[in-house]
Chain A
């Protein structure tokens, strides 16, 4: 189940675990990423907590936690090479995996069609 937030994060939810990243649209706005700060594995995050930070050549931006949950894995590859996020934001450029506290809450988020309509 692929879902989106209006903060330009995407979530791919399967078996109560959401893989979270930032959208192609977000990456186009940010430009070349040079640094990614990821949350700690084991951290419990509330919805809308600042979960990660991305730095582009232009500015720093926060990545928010889309739903409540526990961080169970982070993508070390993007820490070493942030350009992966630019080249494949909705695939290899994922940020972290979140074990959702209430998986059913994901249903209420936007689907891809609604998100694409939002960003025009």
Chain B
């Protein structure tokens, strides 16, 4: 393939350009990596006030049970994820993982119970594969419908509640991971109290034709600034959240990825619906035996960021004992922050290791994630 596919646009691409976004190709979409304010200030503004992110490149999918019973859709999806979907109450959302036969992770996703259907949000880079995966395995019980006529925006930060409640007062009463259908500026939106920044905030699915008006109305508030993918990445890294393709992929199991919390007891060995998802024979024993390596936070000493791909060694060995999967500078922590995988024996917080950085050895410490104190609205 010598010719790259032309980049796709979101309902907000033109507005992103108008706002001065520096546009780059990301997962096949033309997306803003930063706005004129710059990554550092965008990051800090999101933690201080509120940031608005176009995440319309992500996939939005509805799973509608053919029987009309939501339980059937939940049990169908449980074939693909090691997660308690049946126990997910109406109006609630939960983090989930598509696993493969080897116990690896095909993608991470959000699943919401919307009463008569499940609403699923998947990563942009994986969405074609995810939709095909769901169609192949769920079509006996569910209609799998990709919503291509909706935008998705995230409003994150301590001022997010006031900024959105101005147009929809009821969102102020929502709890973390709650999902509701909300009319905003006369558009039928799906709002969840969630995000990818470590801050309180919302993710808003809005009909494509209403997206620009909604974003303009939100940006009319001086507290709300447009934020690019650069700050989205540094915010999520400080918050200890995984980026699919970097921190988790088909070579990492849920236990190695330190995502045990995403696998509820009912799906683990001894649970009422134990197993029954791809790779269960690999994944479930790891809850007892552990995995060979483990995802950890990494705090490098000094100011130099250590980026994905860098290798770790311990005091004595010359063989690598792990590697960085995401790394950069944390504008809020005012220090380099990273995450990566190390041999499980070396995964305790406080363990000192060394990373290779441009031919030098930089001391790093295994750190507890997240690097910041999350401010979710529990």
Contacts and interface: CB of A to CB of B under 8 A. Distances in A.
B358 A35 contact: no
Contacts of B303: 34-35, 82
Interface stretch (B33-41, B60-68, B187-195): B33-41
Nearest to A80: B303
B234 interface: yes
B38 A32 contact: yes
B40 A53 contact: no
B331 interface: yes
A31 interface: yes
B230 interface: yes
B328 interface: yes
Interface in A19-57: 31-32, 34-35, 37, 53, 55, 57
A77 interface: no
Contacts of B329: 34-35, 55, 57
Contacts of A32: 38-41
A9 B41 CA distance: 26
- The CB with the most chain A CB atoms within 10 A, among B34, B40, B43, B230, is that of B40
Nearest to A59: B307
Contacts, number: 42
Contact of B34 (A31, A34, A53, A82): A31
Nearest to A57: B39
B334 to A, nearest CB: 9
A60 interface: yes
Contact of A60 (B39, B43, B307): B307
B202 to A, nearest CB: 25
Interface residues of B, number: 18
Interface string B293-311: 0000000000111010000
Given A57-B328, A57-B331, A58-B230, A35 B39 contact: no
Given A31-B38, A31-B39, A35-B329, A57 B230 contact: yes
Interface string B336-349: 10000000000000
B39 A37 contact: no
B39 A58 contact: yes
Interface in A41-97: 53, 55, 57-60, 82
Nearest to B334: A34
Interface in B6-55: 33-34, 38-41, 43
A104 B119 CA distance: 69
Contacts of B38: 31-32, 57
A37 B336 CA distance: 14
- The CB with the most chain B CB atoms within 10 A, among A34, A37, A55, is that of A34
B78 to A, nearest CB: 40
A37 B33 CA distance: 25
B307 A57 contact: no
Contacts of B43: 57
A35 B304 contact: yes
Contacts of A82: 303
A57 B234 contact: yes
Contacts of A58: 33, 39, 230
30 contacts: A31-B34, A31-B38, A31-B39, A31-B40, A32-B38, A32-B39, A32-B40, A32-B41, A34-B303, A34-B305, A34-B329, A34-B336, A35-B304, A35-B305, A35-B329, A37-B358, A53-B358, A57-B39, A57-B40, A57-B43, A57-B230, A57-B234, A57-B328, A57-B329, A58-B33, A58-B39, A58-B230, A59-B307, A60-B307, A60-B358
